[in-house]
Amino acid sequence: MTSNSAYPCAHEWIISLTQQEDEKQLDLILITALQTILFGCQLGVYISKFINEGLAPQQIYFGHDAIVLNQEQSLEYLNKVKKSKLHLHETPENSNVAIPVYHFGKVIGFVIAKGAVVGDLAKITVAIHVLNIYANHLYLLYRSQLDPLTELLNRQTFDLKLLEMITEQGYKKRRADYKEQRMWFFAMLDIDFFKSVNDNFGHMIGDEVLLLIARIIKNHFRSEDYIFRYGGEEFAILFQCQQIAFAADMLEKLREKVAQFNFPQVQHVTVSIGFTPLLQFEMVPSLVQKADQALYFSKSNGRDRVSNFTDIDPHTLLKHQYGHQEPELF
């Protein structure tokens, strides 16, 4: 039985899924389709948005009847569906089915359905087809958010994510493995004297330096944090810490890792970093300006250092106009 014969509107879901350029709308269409296909069932929908088998999938359906799992439970279900195409579980009290979400053979999530659907393989088959289309398009959207050289998130994604962090639920989100409340920080990082790297060693070596520093940054932070190539030799980081002192220490350790790394041909490269706490409902330009001013302060005071915007004398900051074009000194 095909999905179209079982559900005449299935082709409309597929068309809608493949037309989306917005991830939230993509999720919404998926949830609507699953609610229709698996009508009468209680649902839990968990997806790894980083298209990564090793990460615990995150809940994307938050209806009043949603099946809510903690990180340990979601990883347990993920491992169950990896072992078999479907995981069926029946008790005298209830029955449920866990449906894997595949992307090119990798299991990147699952759907739990509790109810009479366990015995209806036709409905489950339609759900699997829709989930496959969703996963493929999610991957395309994910790739469109990446910088092609470093494979970090790109500038366009930065603007959207920062706005989301400030104005929406992302601001309040805790890391899954920490009980204490944490706060978001925003850092900007710039490679010192990067123009001289290109001038002395060529742009191919310059690209290699960018790629290696991107990897150092990515390996230093957690998968739940957001790392962007902001433009040229500049990077932006959204990350969580319990307090400012911890954030400063984390960035200082990152600076040390770069300074101690032996880059091919170039050997020694340093970075300057500026950061600021991320305040809810703060305007995006204001937040970027604060981190940029802290970065400029690092640049103006010897480079190869980390500066916290809240520690800088306001009179010093007045000397720095946002969007500065001062040239590097070689």
Q: Rounded CA gap, 312 and 299, in Å?
A: 13
**Environment class of 268 (CB within 10 Å of its CB; exposed 0-12, middle 13-18, buried 19+):** exposed
Cβ atoms 303, 196 nearer than 8 A: no
Cβ atoms 233, 194 nearer than 8 A: yes
CA dist list (Å): 184 to 158, 162, 239, 247, 250: 15, 11, 6, 9, 13
307 C-beta neighbours (distance < 10 Å), count: 24
| Residue environment code for 224-248, b if the CB has 16+ CB neighbours within 10 A, otherwise e | bbbbbbbeebbbbbbbbbeebeebb
Nearest C-alpha neighbor of 167 from the set 256, 278, 27, 89: 278
Q: Where are the beta strands (DSSP E) in 49-123?
A: 58-59, 87-90, 95-103, 106-114
- Element holding 190 (H helix, E strand): strand 183-191
Question: Is there a catalytic annotation at residue 326?
Answer: no
Q: Return the structure tokens found at 327.
A: 């040239």
SS3 235: strand
Q: Rounded CA gap, 63 and 205, in Å?
A: 50
Q: Rounded CA gap, 294 and 322, in Å?
A: 11
Catalytic residue among 151, 233, 256, 328: 233
Show which residues are catalytic. Answer: 233
